[in-house]
Structure 1
Amino acid sequence: MAKTEPSFALFERMADRYDTWYERNKVIAENEARLVEEFPARPPSVEVGAGTGYFASKLGVDVAVEPALSMLTRAWRRGVEAVQAVGENLPLRSGSFNTVYIIVTLCFLDSPEPVVEEAARILTRTGRLVSCIVPRDSSWGRYYTELGRMGHPLYSVARFYTVEEMNDLFAGVGLNPAKIMGTLSFKPWEPPRPEEPRPWRPGADLGFVCVEYRWS
């Protein structure tokens, strides 16, 4: 999900290519889904920046939010209850969701702070927020960053974060990490293989990491 008009238009145009990534990279996608499912939804649940609904459909969230209509249409086809809105201004009541997901969304935001603030606003005091990223300092983060430098239409507009940087973002709204797990221990140039999620530790070279945040 992106705030600026150029990024928004980019995701509108690239919905097909974005969505077919999951089929073209099935083993990687299934590893990522397996990790996300380690953080099951406790209703009511929402995914902010749901894209084409791949993860939302796996998690069975109650509602998903996505600004790009072409992406939203594909989420509907997956059976996801989705609404068109931007993460900076969620049409959802404060303190109304027990589980909030932000999955591979922060890296495509011009400014993540407003989305983080909105996600925290709709979270119940006993709820949990789960955010998943490709860490910038992982082999996969460096690989995607290099693809961006070479002109890849999506990765060229992405700004990747380290796990520590993401933790700082959420600490700014009073949310602290309670559980951190990751996957994709193989390198981008190695044959992909199915693997089980594992606990993340500083220095771990895992290409997809999810953090569960709770209120202080």
Structure 2
Amino acid sequence: MTHPDFVRATNIADNVDLYERENEAVDPEGLLWRAIRDEADWSGRTLLDLGCGTGFWLPRYSDAARAVGVEPDPDLLRLAERRGVEAVAGSAENLPFPDDSFDVVHARFAYFWPPHCEAGRREVLRVLKPGGRLVVIDNDHRRGQFAELLAASPWAEAQGRGEVTDEWWASRGAARREILSSWEAATPEELESILRIEFPADVVDDWVAGNPGASRISYGYVLFTTEK
């Protein structure tokens, strides 16, 4: 089944092995993960990972009562299934679950780029239990070296520059929280390769020239948390 809200993520789908390296580089200090758990602790609860991709992050929820991923890309979904995690076909606007199924829903850089995502927000609220929480992990366009790359990249235009996103979530009662963390790759060459699947070549060329030998980049996140 093809979901009308599905847009293929070429940075992942065309570079699966390198995207795994990117995931391994994320948040080495654990600052982001601690903040996410503070917003909505999943221990002993049911959790939905919306847009789970290859399922890389699902094992991190091992203390949940149940953790299940939803992924619309059939190729990525097959990789998630091979990982041995629970993952099913679906999308933000078409979640294959009954009402009031989950305590927590996480969405990392998946679907929620306001203002055109109200249908998905309503669908997530449908499957959340009363008192359940949606936590959306987004880019901070104001802090960190990664924000500087976003500002220079025309590829980031589709995700906005932050103001529209902030206003959209605020108008829906979401709490906003900033976390300044980092990516840390094994080598400078690996970091450069990772950046090249996220940004145009000229943007990466300029950053590498200005940061010779860097294997680490500061990265700001924003969490938007909504309670049902």
Deviation at residue 115 of structure 1 after TM alignment? 1.3
Residues of 2 paired with 1:161 and 1:32: CA distance? 26
- The answer on whether the counterparts of 1:57 and 1:78 sit within 8 Å (CA) in structure 2 is no
Match of 1:51 in 2: 53
Deviation at residue 32 of structure 1 after TM alignment? 8.2
Residues of 1 paired with 2:139 and 2:73: CA distance? 22
Q: CA RMSD in A?
A: 3.6
Structure 1 pair 160–58 and aligned structure 2 pair: CA distance change class (3 A): farther
The one-character-per-residue Cα deviations of 1:52-94 (angstroms, maximum 9, x if unpaired) are 2122232245211110011112222332211111211111112
Match of 2:204 in 1: none
Match of 1:192 in 2: 216
The one-character-per-residue Cα deviations of 1:169-215 (angstroms, maximum 9, x if unpaired) are 3743xx432x73513268x755417xxxxxxxxxxx95223333324
Residues of 1 paired with 2:17 and 2:162: CA distance? 25
Match of 2:197 in 1: none
2:52 alignment partner AA? A
Please, what TM-score do these two structures have when normalized by structure 2? 0.66
- Percent identity over the alignment is 22
The one-character-per-residue Cα deviations of 1:18-50 (angstroms, maximum 9, x if unpaired) are 4522315743x2438652354142421101111
Residues of 2 paired with 1:170 and 1:114: CA distance? 17
Residues of 1 paired with 2:170 and 2:52: CA distance? 19
- The answer on whether the counterparts of 2:114 and 2:168 sit within 8 Å (CA) in structure 1 is no
Please, what TM-score do these two structures have when normalized by structure 1? 0.69
Structure 1 pair 161–85 and aligned structure 2 pair: CA distance change class (3 A): farther
Residues of 2 paired with 1:170 and 1:3: CA distance? 27
Residues of 2 paired with 1:34 and 1:106: CA distance? 23
Larger radius of gyration: 2
The one-character-per-residue Cα deviations of 1:153-180 (angstroms, maximum 9, x if unpaired) are xx467414528724633743xx432x73
Deviation at residue 133 of structure 1 after TM alignment? 0.7
1:208 alignment partner AA? Y
Q: Indicate the SS of the match to 2:134.
A: strand
Aligned pair count reads: 190
Structure 1 pair 161–134 and aligned structure 2 pair: CA distance change class (3 A): same
Match of 1:162 in 2: 162
- 54, 68, 72: which is aligned to 1:67? 72
Structure 1 pair 18–159 and aligned structure 2 pair: CA distance change class (3 A): farther
| Structure 1: 5+ residue stretches without partners | 150-154, 194-204
Choose 16-25 or 77-86, whichever is displaced more: 16-25
Task: Indicate yes or no: 2:135 matched with 1:122.
Answer: no
Residues of 1 paired with 2:115 and 2:102: CA distance? 25
Structure 1 pair 76–183 and aligned structure 2 pair: CA distance change class (3 A): farther
| Structure 2: 5+ residue stretches without partners | 184-206
- The answer on whether the counterparts of 1:116 and 1:169 sit within 8 Å (CA) in structure 2 is no
Equivalent positions of 1:2-81 (< 5 A) are 3=4, 7-8=7-8, 11=10, 14-24=12-22, 26-27=24-25, 29-31=26-28, 35-38=32-35, 39=37, 40-42=41-43, 43-60=45-62, 62-81=67-86
